[in-house]
Structures are given as C-alpha cells and as structure tokens.
C-alpha cells in the first residue's frame, strides 16, 4: 500500500525522534524513503544526513532532499513529483497553527503526524491503542495499524468510544451498558477482522462516556499504552467552536506517543 514514503524533518530533536516511525514503517512496507528538509539551516541538513545514514544502514532505498521555499507548496510539489503514497512529519504537543495542519489540508497522499512524548520507551511500543469513534474505518487504517504492530511486536486494542450525553450517562444501567458493548463490538468488528487478515489480533474495548477525549486519555493512562493511533477528522467551524478539537486535546493530555493519521484524499 505504501511504496513511497516522504519524511519531513526540520532539524529538531523531536523530528528525529519521530523519524524512527517512518523508517521502521518503510522497512515493514518495503518502501522507498524520501527524507526532506525545507530550508537552509545547517541543523536541518545534518538531520537529513543522519536520518539518511540510519535508514541506509537499515537497507532502505533512501533519498535525501533539501530544498528552499515555502514549505507546504514545496512538499506538495515533491509529493506529486515523486508520487508519494504517505507523508510522515513530527507533531508537537499541539496541532493548531502548525504546518502539519496545512499539510493535512493540501497533500493528496495519506499523512501521518507523529507526536513523540516519551523518550524512555523508544522503539519499545508494546501496547497500541486505536480509538474508534463512530464508524470511520478503512482498510488503510487497519493496514497501517498492522504494520506498526508487526514492526514493534506490539499488541493492539481497538477502543470503541460510544458517546452519550451527561444526563444519558446518569441513566445508564449495567444492562444498558452491556447492550451498548455488544453493539460496539459489531461496529468495530469490521476493523478488527481486517486487522486480523493482516495477521494482527486485536482486543476490543468499549467506553461509554460523555467525553471521548477523556475516555481515550484515561484508557491510554490506565492501560499504560505506548502509542495511540488517532484518525484525523474534519470538523466544521461551529462544532470546533463549541466542543473544541479532540485531537488537540488528546495531544495535550496523552501520556504516550500519538500518531494522527489522515487517509489519502
């Protein structure tokens, strides 16, 4: 699925820490890797060199690209020119007003934004949490999850988050929760089955909550997960104004690394 992967680095330590995901993913997919830095800084060039050297040492077909100019249009041009399937970039502990946000809006390929939070467990991602809100599943997500699980030898938990209002939460009985869990399993089954077809078995959990963000962060903290794979969702202005952006809130609160994935347009 991913034959050509673009990795964007900006010369920061954080971007290099996140680069390992792209490298391991490229290894797992047998993909060609393009390491790109936009700008003229020495740190950026050195960063590209280090990543290329490391990827090369892993036997990857890797290319270093350093260009100047406006970041988003230039990366978009490289994506189109090199027929990139997946772009990977590091994400800080926030999402708002970042280049990633602009890349998500413009790039024609799939995109992974990676926020590295815990440097003590590098490449030791034993537990992966995949929250599923509603039914936004696809084969690509299962493929990506399975590749990451295989490469890190991690276990996957699909967390189905079922939203109820606060007053609805007050009225929930255990019987109603059991019914909701059964219902949730059906909703997640397609994703889990696809994952299984890629050779990865996943545990299913259900959270019946009034706040999805809290539920995901709570599960990540309680289960000591090492990585959360989130699907990016487009929210209209009004919804964002009223309820905020859940990705933003998870990035701020999550106690582990977070990958925000946006499928190919």
Q: With DSSP H G I counted as helix, E B as strand and the rest as coil, what are the percentages for the chain, rounded to 5?
A: 50, 25, 30
Q: Are 114 and 14 in contact (CB under 8 A)?
A: no
CA–CA–CA angle 227, 228, 233 (5° rounding): 155
132-161: contacts with other proteins (CB under 8 A): 151-153
- What's the min distance (Å) between Cβ of 252 and other proteins? 7
CB-based contact 51:19 (threshold 8 Å): yes
Contact between 8 and 88 (Cβ < 8 Å): yes
Task: For other proteins, give the closer residue by CB, 109 or 129.
Answer: 129
Close Cβ partners of 42 (under 8 Å, ≥ 6 residues apart): none
Does residue 4 touch other proteins according to CB under 8 A? no
For residues 47 and 110, which CB has a smaller minimum distance to other proteins in the complex?
Answer: 47
Residue appearing with tokens 């487009």: 234
Contact flag: residue 42 with other proteins (CB under 8 A): no
- The reply to whether 199 sits near other proteins by the rule CB under 8 A is no
Site for other proteins in 65-84 (CB under 8 A): none
Which residue, chain included where needed, has tokens 């790109």?
36
User: Among 77, 179, 203, 264, which residue interacts with other proteins (rule: CB under 8 A)?
Assistant: 203
Chain contacts with other proteins (rule: CB under 8 A) = 12-14, 16-17, 19-20, 24, 27, 50-51, 53-55, 57-59, 90, 92-94, 117-124, 151-153, 169-171, 173-174, 177, 203, 205, 209-211, 214-215, 217-218, 220-222, 224, 252-256
């Amino acid at each position: 699925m991913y034959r050509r992967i673009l990795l964007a680095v900006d010369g920061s330590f954080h971007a290099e820490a996140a680069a390992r995901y792209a490298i391991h993913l490229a290894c797992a997919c047998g993909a060609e890797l393009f390491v790109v830095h936009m700008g003229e800084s020495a740190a950026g060039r050195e960063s590209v060199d280090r990543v290329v050297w490391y990827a090369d040492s892993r036997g990857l077909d890797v290319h270093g690209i350093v260009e100047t100019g406006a970041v988003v249009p230039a990366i978009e041009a490289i994506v189109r020119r090199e027929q990139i399937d997946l772009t990977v970039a590091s994400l800080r502990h926030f999402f708002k007003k970042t280049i990633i946000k602009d890349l998500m809006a413009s790039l024609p390929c799939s995109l992974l934004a990676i926020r590295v939070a815990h440097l003590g467990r590098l490449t030791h991602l034993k537990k992966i949490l995949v929250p599923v809100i509603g039914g936004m599943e696809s084969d690509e997500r299962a493929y990506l999850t399975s590749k990451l699980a295989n490469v890190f030898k991690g276990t996957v938990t699909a967390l189905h988050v079922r939203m109820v209002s606060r007053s609805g939460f007050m009225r929930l009985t255990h019987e109603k929760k059991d019914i909701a869990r059964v219902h949730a399993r059906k909703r997640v089954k397609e994703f889990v089955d696809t994952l299984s077809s890629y050779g990865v078995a996943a545990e299913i959990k259900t959270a019946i909550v009034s706040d999805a963000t809290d539920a995901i962060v709570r599960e990540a903290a309680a289960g000591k997960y090492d990585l959360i794979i989130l699907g990016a969702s487009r929210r209209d202005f009004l919804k964002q104004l009223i309820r905020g952006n859940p990705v933003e809130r998870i990035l701020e609160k999550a106690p582990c690394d977070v990958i925000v994935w946006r499928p190919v347009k």
